[in-house]
Structure 1
Amino acid sequence: MRTLVIAFVVMLGFIACKKDIEYKSSFEKSNRSWKAFKASSNNNYRFVVSGTSWSSGSWTTTLKVQAGVAVERKFAYTIYAGVVMPPEGWTPAKQDEVLARINLTAAAFRQQTGKDISEYLSWTETGAMVGAHTDTPATPFLTLDQVYEKAKNDWLKKRSGTTTYFEAKNNGLISACGYVPDNCADDCFTGIGISLIEAL
């Protein structure tokens, strides 16, 4: 009986270890910073998620939260087809440059994508429309509460055959979190990269 009890305790310890996460102490410290920021900002903030792909270019998604509720999501390609978005946004001249790079007319682009190029390259959703754009690399709407939950329950889980990343360069808040399967060459990162977090 004593041997059975010891075996059971060892098994429970093994299961608990398997559920542990990478960067545990760094994550917990950052989570405490998040809770302090959430309280000091009254849960009103915006954050910018950056993304990149070898085939699509790069983009940002800006998410605005008021009292913990989604109120706005903005998306913009910062580079598309090798064309860099100017500081003032996608001007008609730059949109034409993109079309020339991909060898399409505006009408052909609309036929292929179902959107005008201006709406494809950047858009804003507010209120009940948040989350309306689909088939886009834009970050799905997540509050920072949900980001920390996903980090703990998915992105930082200990798993074999992957390399895990965690950084907290936004004044202690998450700036990068996720994992990449070993021996994967392109667009393999699962997680999030946050370039800015600020109170509103």
Structure 2
Amino acid sequence: MKISNCFILFLFCITLLSCSTSDNDRDEITGESGISYSDSKKMWKELKAQNDETYSYTASFISWSGFGSRTTITIKDGVVSKREYLYFEQVLNEESEREEVEIESYTETGEEIGSHSEGFDPLLIDELYETCISEYLIVNTGENDVYFNTNEAGIISNCGFVEKGCVDDCFIGFRISEFQWL
């Protein structure tokens, strides 16, 4: 009896450890860049300190139907100072090239930042890292394809997931199409 109780306790501990390890492995997910979430976050902390937490980034979305949006967030000294939004439709011009036709746009500054419901939330890159790990990288990988990637500097560029079998506009998460230090 004493041996079987120890054996059950041993199995319980192994099960507990294997579950917590898989949760911790989420920050080791690596994208096409070859940089893991945890390494990217470390690189980000160093880079933002070197650049006085002053930067801008653009979050983009484009639908298969040709509609899309871009929101540019500007951060100065670690505080969101501006949010610019553009909603557009892609149409073919006379030369059969895709051209964006503006449907709606706005620019917010100061206390009006966040006053419009359309557009990407006015978040710091730090908040995007936290959202990535707490909302998108935790989904069931048996039911979803999970995505994480960085730009050339190692800064997060996309994070999200797509439900397996979904075909059109299924990505849940964010894509950063442009990033620059100011």
TM-score by length of 1: 0.74
Q: Which residue of 1 aligns with 2:100?
A: 85
Amino acid at match of 1:23: I
Q: In 2, Cα distance between the equivalents of 1:63 and 1:190?
A: 20
Structure with the higher strand share, 1 or 2: 2
Q: In 1, Cα distance between the equivalents of 2:52 and 2:8?
A: 51
Find 2:155's aligned residue among 163, 173, 182: 173
**Cα deviation per residue 1:30-79 (whole Å; 9 max; x = unaligned)?**
112111111111111111111112346112100011222221110012x4
Q: In 1, Cα distance between the equivalents of 2:150 and 2:64?
A: 25
Structure with the higher helix share, 1 or 2: 1
Q: Which residue of 1 aligns with 2:95?
A: none
Q: In 1, Cα distance between the equivalents of 2:158 and 2:85?
A: 19
SS of the residue 1:17 aligns to = helix
Q: Which residue of 2 aligns with 1:140?
A: 121
Q: Which residue of 2 aligns with 1:23?
A: 29
Matches within 5 A, 1:1-200: 1-19=5-23, 20-21=25-26, 23=29, 26-55=36-65, 57-77=67-87, 79-80=88-89, 82=91, 84-85=99-100, 90=102, 121-134=104-117, 136=118, 138-159=119-140, 160-200=142-182
SS of the residue 2:121 aligns to = coil
TM-score by length of 2: 0.81
SS of the residue 2:156 aligns to = coil
Q: In 2, Cα distance between the equivalents of 1:39 and 1:129?
A: 27
Superposed CA RMSD in Å reads 2.1
**What number of residue pairs does the alignment pair up?**
165
Amino acid at match of 1:28: S
